[in-house]
Chain A
Amino acid sequence: MLSEIMHFTGLLRRAGIRVSPGEVLDLTEALKLTGTDREGFLLAMEATIIKQESQIPALHSLFELYWDERGKSSGIFRPAQSLAPDPKMEPFLFQKRLDHLKNFIGNEKIRLSEKVVAAAMPGGMAGRGATGHGKNRPPEAMAAPEKFVSAILDGSEEKMRQLVKRALDGISEDSPRDSELHRQLRNISGWAEGEELLKKICESKTGPDRWAVLERLNRFSEIAAKEIDRRIWHHSHERVLSRLNAEETYFNRLDYDQSREIKRKLVRLGKSLAVKPGYRYAPSPSGKVDLRKTAALAGVHGGIPVKLLFRCRQPVKPEIVILCDLSGSVANFSRFMMLLVSAIQDRFRWARSFAFVDAVEEVTPMIRGWDAEKKISEILRNTGIWQTGFSDYGEVWRQFEEEYGGVVGPRTTLIILGDARNNYKPDGIDHFAGITRKAKKVIWLNPAPKDSWDREDGIMSKYATYCHSVFQCSNIKQLERVVRDVFF
């Protein structure tokens, strides 16, 4: 079992959960207390390995994929009878069952009312004389969208799971990407058409509660995602692991929970930058003893150091100018970049922010608070940076040099956030060179994958020659590395 645990902790590390050897030892000790049934195993892992709440979903997903099969086949899990779990449901599950019972008669009434479904099902899909959702017909006789509607209105998770499994069975084993698998599943399971039908049913006066249907659709989506994961896991562990690892997931592929976590990390990163000590020392009530000053004072008292004087390093106060591309091609990246800009701006006195698409404008006073999406739309609405919607780096450099040239000085660190896709317009390299010449340091953070920097309309290599550092920065891990390398 120890080798299995070692293998599993290896997978956890690849999924972005840091597990130290000491924690593995703790886990083995904890297993002695909790027992080795499934729930005990999971509890021990949560207690010893998990350090942040955001890591729990990843642990649960991996646990299901790895242990549920291996545990059964290898007999690692002891049957849970010896340590009976509490008869306690998850709160949402209890609430769901309660709601199901409360709405049971209402939903059944709808199911039995022929008119609603007959009106909604086009082209005789409901079947002649059928009484609602093809209920009286055997499931194999139903069309795929009809099966989907039936499963959603029924609300049974088992039915939904069966539907997804059957649809996945019909998809070729070597589907290349998650999105492709998802797209094929939508078509084969009747999900795409079924959603339209459900919309019509909900719109009818006597239709079911729209929110209840939406909730079931969400549940179906979750079940589909899990089943797709299971399917992919059998072929390649790496794809699942990289997706679970929020720190290595591209900003534009983060789900809601992951993006919340990343936002938190970004703010933390901004704070750590603010308190970073510089090289200059200043007198301080505590810290290291300032020997020079203490010795000078001791001379006054006949060589006796009556009073100790201290000094400590002062936080750096760099002058930072940030230029952030808000065009459509880097929209997802910009959402997170704005948070970083906001965090930096809150902490550094000398930080000024500029946004650009095909024109540039200062946005320093606009960047305050948390809501990045709102902030971006506010900037686009209240400034003139969005003329055509297509990035024009040449024009931006020209305008910046002319209008804001004085902002950049010999103590300024210029940070540019953008993908350098110029839409085949003039590159304005002279203006860019003029700006960079004045700056102390120029750092370019590009969210696009490195191999696409010079493809199609990308001109990164042209600008890179004038920059001190150019980094790919499309996930939090890369961003942390950049911050470490540049600021520390």
Chain B
Amino acid sequence: MKIEILTRDVGKKAEILTYLKGLNGFRPEGGLFLAEGLEAEITDSYMLFTLTLPWLADNLNRRLFTVKPASFSTGFYEIECPQKIIVTCSARPLTRLVSSLDILEHLDLEAGEICGRIEKRWTSRDVSLSAHFEVIIQGGLAIVKVKFSPHFRESELHCRNAVSMVNLTEGLDLITPERENFHQPASMSPVVSTASAHIDEGVLEVFFNRSPGEIYFSETGDFQVDLPGRDNRIEISRKKENRVELELYLTEPWNTGDHFANLLSILKIKQLEISRIITGITLSPRDLMSQLGFIKDREFHVFKASPQGLEASYNIGRREMRIQGSINCEYINNSFELFKSMEEFTSRVMHFAV
């Protein structure tokens, strides 16, 4: 799938470049800006984005709408849509597509040609945004021109709300079977065990003198101790009245050494919390409950489960899952099992993700 978005509104250059900077593999190359699934040509008179990921096109497209005070009535706001979009993709079978079209202008089944329009509309109170998908298909290849047109005016909040609802994939889903990248892939944090404690400065002296890792001092006046094992560390910052705050991050607790459990007892840390957060994950309530063993929680959007000694909660509204567990510091060398079961549960969850 190839999505081309052209806009003459170069005033958004800074905002767009800031967004692009956060994408994977972002780099300038010649006169272009490249990122994974994106090529951007930004000149003084226009910005042209060529994308292969529909979810990225959706994110970018929403940023290209402008909400501005309505002329002669500045208490109200209206939406401006300067962007022009062309999508080139493989097409669904014509017989299936026909029923999805709102307007059918041409149909030649023998030649594999169809021409028509699909209309989509997103409304927030009085203001609405319409998307007109002009579809032409020949030889199994669809070319879709998307044109947005705003309607009426409202408060800024409702205008922005309408813009946030715009979804190109809603229309494209009817036209093309290429649905792989319609949704932004879920992002997963690493499994990490954390703990925090407040101790006296005197205890710190004992810890440092027996520390198994290297100690660093930063310009901010804090210490960091790198422990054995990948990314294992303790951050130590000084607080008021000779108190010290410790933050412990362990991604491989079982590699910290034999005596680390004793050190933790010096630091008065008895338990480690192990957690992972998965954002942007879409799961259907049916899969959640029948396949993954979740049950509905009292809170409206939340489902909960307790697999293999872990606690998992999924917020279907925010599309976010939090998996957590805890382990006693005495058995820190056995934490590998818990990490493993968390990975296993995560892979099961990802299997059912849409």
Of the listed stretches B53-61, B100-108, B335-343, chain A binds B100-108
Considering only CB atoms, which chain A residue lies closest to B134 in the complex? Answer: A101
Taken together as a complex, chains A and B put the C-alpha atoms of A112 and B10 apart, in Å, by 11
Are A87 and B107 in touch, CB under 8 angstroms?
A: yes
Assess whether A370 is interfacial by the CB under 8 Å rule: no
Are A98 and B136 in touch, CB under 8 angstroms?
A: yes
Chain A residues engaging chain B, CB cutoff 8 angstroms: 86-89, 94, 97-98, 101-102, 104-105, 108-109, 112-114, 131
Taken together as a complex, chains A and B put the C-alpha atoms of A86 and B45 apart, in Å, by 43
Assess whether B35 is interfacial by the CB under 8 Å rule: no
B86: chain A residues at CB < 8 Å are: 101, 104-105
Assess whether B6 is interfacial by the CB under 8 Å rule: yes
Taken together as a complex, chains A and B put the C-alpha atoms of A101 and B86 apart, in Å, by 8
Partner of B8, one of A97, A98, A105, A112: A112
B43: chain A residues at CB < 8 Å are: 113
Taken together as a complex, chains A and B put the C-alpha atoms of A113 and B46 apart, in Å, by 8
Are B115 and A112 in touch, CB under 8 angstroms?
A: no
Are A105 and B136 in touch, CB under 8 angstroms?
A: no
Assess whether B236 is interfacial by the CB under 8 Å rule: no
Are B143 and A98 in touch, CB under 8 angstroms?
A: yes
Interface residues of B in 78-98 (CB under 8 A from A): 84, 86
Contacts known (A105-B86, A112-B46); A94 close to B113, Cβ less than 8 A = yes
The binding surface of chain B is classed by DSSP as strand
Assess whether B235 is interfacial by the CB under 8 Å rule: no
Taken together as a complex, chains A and B put the C-alpha atoms of A298 and B45 apart, in Å, by 103
Are B45 and A98 in touch, CB under 8 angstroms?
A: no
Are B45 and A97 in touch, CB under 8 angstroms?
A: no
Considering only CB atoms, which chain A residue lies closest to B142 in the complex? Answer: A101
Contacts known (A87-B104, A104-B86); A109 close to B6, Cβ less than 8 A = yes
Considering only CB atoms, which chain A residue lies closest to B137 in the complex? Answer: A98
Are B136 and A101 in touch, CB under 8 angstroms?
A: yes
Q: How far is the CB of B54 from chain A (nearest CB, A)?
A: 17
Taken together as a complex, chains A and B put the C-alpha atoms of A88 and B105 apart, in Å, by 7
Q: How far is the CB of B64 from chain A (nearest CB, A)?
A: 14
Interface residues of B in 298-312 (CB under 8 A from A): none
Are B6 and A87 in touch, CB under 8 angstroms?
A: no
A104: chain B residues at CB < 8 Å are: 84, 86, 145
Contacts known (A87-B105, A94-B115); A105 close to B45, Cβ less than 8 A = no
Among A101, A102, A108: residue with most chain B CB under 10 A: A101
Are A109 and B115 in touch, CB under 8 angstroms?
A: no
Interface residues of B in 26-61 (CB under 8 A from A): 43-46, 48
Contacts known (A97-B136, A104-B145, A105-B84); A113 close to B115, Cβ less than 8 A = no
Partner of B138, one of A86, A87, A98: A98
Taken together as a complex, chains A and B put the C-alpha atoms of A98 and B84 apart, in Å, by 16
Q: How far is the CB of B98 from chain A (nearest CB, A)?
A: 10
Q: How far is the CB of B144 from chain A (nearest CB, A)?
A: 8
Taken together as a complex, chains A and B put the C-alpha atoms of A97 and B43 apart, in Å, by 28
- Residue pairs across A and B with Cβ atoms less than 8 A apart, 23 shown, are A88-B107, A88-B108, A89-B106, A94-B106, A94-B113, A94-B136, A97-B115, A98-B136, A98-B138, A101-B86, A101-B134, A102-B143, A104-B84, A105-B4, A105-B6, A105-B48, A105-B86, A108-B6, A109-B46, A112-B6, A113-B43, A114-B44, A114-B45
Q: How far is the CB of A208 from chain B (nearest CB, A)?
A: 15
Q: How far is the CB of B139 from chain A (nearest CB, A)?
A: 10
Considering only CB atoms, which chain B residue lies closest to A132 in the complex? Answer: B45
Are A89 and B45 in touch, CB under 8 angstroms?
A: no
A102: chain B residues at CB < 8 Å are: 143
Taken together as a complex, chains A and B put the C-alpha atoms of A464 and B138 apart, in Å, by 64
A89: chain B residues at CB < 8 Å are: 105-106, 115
Taken together as a complex, chains A and B put the C-alpha atoms of A112 and B48 apart, in Å, by 11
Partner of A112, one of B45, B106, B134: B45
Q: How far is the CB of B13 from chain A (nearest CB, A)?
A: 14
A108: chain B residues at CB < 8 Å are: 6, 46, 84
Taken together as a complex, chains A and B put the C-alpha atoms of A214 and B65 apart, in Å, by 36
3 nearest A-B residue pairs (beta carbon): A112-B46, A89-B106, A101-B143
Are A113 and B45 in touch, CB under 8 angstroms?
A: yes
Taken together as a complex, chains A and B put the C-alpha atoms of A109 and B6 apart, in Å, by 8
Taken together as a complex, chains A and B put the C-alpha atoms of A98 and B145 apart, in Å, by 10
A113: chain B residues at CB < 8 Å are: 43, 45-46
Q: How far is the CB of B97 from chain A (nearest CB, A)?
A: 13
Considering only CB atoms, which chain A residue lies closest to B47 in the complex? Answer: A112
Q: How far is the CB of B38 from chain A (nearest CB, A)?
A: 15
Q: How far is the CB of A212 from chain B (nearest CB, A)?
A: 16
Q: How far is the CB of B1 from chain A (nearest CB, A)?
A: 15
